């Protein structure tokens, strides 16, 4: 997509790959560095960060929704328009911001490390963050429009809700009674992946003129998330809890 050639980070894949490599090194070395240090208390920073991400994702959702509506985009099959039409450029710019937001989300992991919440840095967490930022560079470079708007718009909307939850959680214990809906965030994400597969499969079936390699890549990618998020949901909400004996969990981990 010639329109994005001169945009920040788009001239070459190396800046994105470098940032992602630094991220993986941080995941590996960060916990070692924090091992002998006290966890940082980052409440104010987390509140600002999470509500900032709410605003960024709402902006992305708004731009994609309004611009795609103005262009009469189809939710079934939409080819990429590489023209300099004002709405097409707005869609491309919103998708670029969506890609950038995935790089900003690397801070999720950094904050876990600084707060010594190492149990939160699971394979799912790292895989999700690393691949979203890295792979979306490919999407912006070749298809900053068309069908690509659908998944980004849906995901940005879900992230508005998700970061709203995290922002409220960061405000302190007095907000806990309003956060009973945490499990439904995972359900919403699982629904998103199933919708993505259905939408993409339909596009393949009707032979939508959009890069086939990207269609198949999206399906495979969504399947990996269904497996990983489904496993997380089962282990978190469905698997029987470890019985507690004398103030300790049966597997030896201290409960109280």
Active site residues: 128
Helix, strand, coil percentages, rounded to 5, for the chain: 70, 0, 25
Q: From CA 122, how far away is CA 109, in angstroms rounded? A: 10
Contact 91, 64 (CB under 8 A): yes
Q: From CA 110, how far away is CA 98, in angstroms rounded? A: 20
Q: From CA 123, how far away is CA 224, in angstroms rounded? A: 12
- DSSP-assigned letter for residue 205: H
Q: What angle do CA 65, 132, 32 make, to 5 degrees?
A: 140
Strand partners, 245: 248
DSSP-assigned states of every residue in 14-83: HHHHHHHHHHHHHHHHHHHHHTTSPPP--HHHHHHHHHHHHHHHHHHHHHHHHHHHHTT--SS------S
Contact 174, 38 (CB under 8 A): no
CA-based diameter of the chain, in Å? 69
């Amino acid at each position: 997509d010639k329109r994005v050639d001169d945009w920040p980070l788009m001239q070459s894949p190396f800046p994105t790959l470098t940032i992602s490599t630094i991220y993986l090194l941080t995941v590996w070395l960060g916990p070692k560095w924090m091992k002998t240090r006290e966890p940082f208390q980052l409440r104010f920073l987390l509140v600002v960060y999470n509500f900032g991400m709410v605003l960024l994702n709402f902006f992305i959702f708004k731009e994609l929704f309004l611009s795609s509506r103005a262009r009469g985009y189809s939710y079934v099959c939409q080819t990429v328009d590489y023209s300099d039409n004002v709405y097409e450029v707005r869609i491309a710019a919103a998708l670029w911001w969506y890609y950038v937001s995935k790089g900003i989300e690397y801070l999720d992991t950094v904050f876990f490390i600084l707060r010594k919440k190492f149990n939160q840095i699971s394979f799912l967490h790292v895989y999700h963050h690393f691949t979203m930022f890295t792979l979306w560079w490919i999407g912006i470079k070749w298809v900053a429009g068309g069908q690509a708007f659908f998944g980004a718009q849906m995901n940005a909307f879900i992230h508005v809700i998700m970061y709203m939850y995290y922002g409220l959680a960061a405000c302190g214990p007095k907000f806990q009674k309003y956060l009973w809906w945490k499990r439904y965030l995972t359900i919403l994400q699982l629904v998103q992946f199933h919708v993505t597969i259905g939408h993409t499969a339909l596009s393949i079936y009707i032979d939508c003129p959009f890069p086939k390699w990207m269609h198949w890549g999206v399906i495979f990618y969504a399947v990996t998330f269904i497996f990983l998020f489904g496993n997380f949901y089962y282990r978190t909400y469905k698997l029987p809890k470890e019985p507690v004996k004398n103030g300790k969990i049966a597997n030896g981990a201290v409960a109280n």
